[in-house]
Structure 1
Amino acid sequence: MALVLRYMNNKGSIVECFLAIVHVSDTTALSLKEAIESIFSKHGLSVSRLRGQVYDGASNMRGEFNGLKSLILKENEFAFYIHYFAHQLQLTLVAIAKNEDSVASLFQNVVCLLNVVGASCKRYDILRESQVARVFEALQNDELASGKGLNQEIGLNRAGDTRWGSHYGTLLNIIILFPSVIDVLENVGENGLNSEQRVEAQFLLQMMQSFDFIFNLHLMRSVLGITNELSKSLQRKDQDIVNAMELVKISKQRLQMMRDDGWDLLLHEILSFCEKYSILVPSMDGNYAPPGRSRRKAVGVSNLHHYRVDIFNVVIDRQLQELNNRFTEINTELLLCALCLNPNDSFVAFNKEKLIRFARFYPL
């Protein structure tokens, strides 16, 4: 476990100091707390003087009852827990991906797709040549505008689990390169070196041309598009607290607007995409039949109910719930009040009411 202290020195400057790295026998909250107390004691420090604590988002750290932050708060109620905003958003997106089956399936399939398409230079060349030919044809037919900086070459970069903003770019590029990716899979499905490669490519080809995949692909592209702007903004080094909290608020509002009024627009976009690439669209009034089950065991809901209520609404609701859980009112209020002591521009942010509210966080 690594431990870093952040404090203000006698000159009024903020200092971040790497204090120690220590081996822990296990990662339970109690063991970590004992390790921290041991390090503090060695350096003549006291947990009672802490005025803040921050960890990663694991449950053993941030748990409301038995997490490390809670154990320290029981001894020192003023060691408020503040989480790094960009990482909070990261954890929100990860939670959505892991807790919703349709979304988890989408990202697993995307990983397999990237492995197959990017397995060799030859396959990447097929992808590139196919896309160049399609762009050239579209320009010839005046379907694309030409000009400086337009129609640049793009690829299918592998998304990183520690940078969930990269998933938005990957999904966006899959939509743009969709017909070219199909060309690569058809080539591998016919000319793969062995039956294993051919079968895998044929499976992915069938999966990519299913309505379920197209629906989830466009849905998550739209959801991640909203949070992607927030993610990039939160990682700017010149970002301030007030603007960051406003961005969180705006993201929540846009997600709520998407849930309330965005269904028809999303469905129209998906149906247009399916029509363009000859993908079979199920009747929205028909009964939904889950893949891999016989129609006798089909759940008794319509396709419209399944895609709108069970997926569209649920994914957005989970996103909003996670944002509310991780960007809590108490931490937000504490940070906004602390901002009134910002010395920039001759303390232009000073506010007496905020200072009084700030002082109430530390009555002793």
Structure 2
Amino acid sequence: MSNQARIDYQIRLGATIDCARFLLQQGLPFRGHDETEDSKNQGNFLELLQWLCNHNKDIEAVSLKNAPENLKLTAPDIQKDIVNCIAVEIVNSIIQDIGDKLFSILIDESKDISSKEQMSIVLRYVDKGCVIKRFVGIVHVTDTSSLSLKEAIDGFFSIHGLSMTSLRGQGYDGASNMRGEFNGLKTLFLRENECAFYIHCFSHQLQLALVAIAKNHVEIAGLFLLVVNVVNVIGASAKRRDMLREKHSANTFEALNNGELSSGRGLN
């Protein structure tokens, strides 16, 4: 490869990586429904790269139509490789930031659109007095039994050099297979590290408390039933929602005129 060809390749690769970084930062999809050359919308990635070419003559001279057919760096496999590289660098940066600090792990699992069980992993640690939570990845698991989840987490720890002895907390969504007293994931961790204290999901605790209260107090149960009915009636019709908004705006305007509400940015 000549020196000029190498420079052209670096410019083309840099533009491709910049487009991928922008889409990842904004949480936008890459692919388009129709990515052919005569398409009116080729998708976010190709459209962003074209926009970049329109505003930078150096990039335009070596990208898209001006690039070699076998070296355009726009294929879906190339995009996935770049995304994977960026993901690895981000996770490695988080792991380096944790270093030898103590940390906690937050786990949840759910099925994706293809009905595959996916386990999300979040690390929580303290850095210079600030509590930091970092999402570090999604791991595919064959099932949600405690042993399978434990093996997946052990594999994640092994890949990224995390030590089980530094684990000081574990939190889950409250599912029985994850928090069971004897066979759950909680106990499997505690057998290896007695300091990995389990904390029940506070949102799930609140939900259980509300359910228990509603079941034992007729007035509260009636309130929730009334709220559900109102939401269903209003939400089923755009006209009813508009009527409710108009009524609320009129009441707010009247309260402002009467001095019952204070005006200010974000107050109303």
In the superposition, the TM-score normalised over structure 1's length comes to: 0.31
More strand by share: 2
TM-score between the two structures when normalised by the length of structure 2: 0.40
The structure in which a higher percent of residues are helix is 1
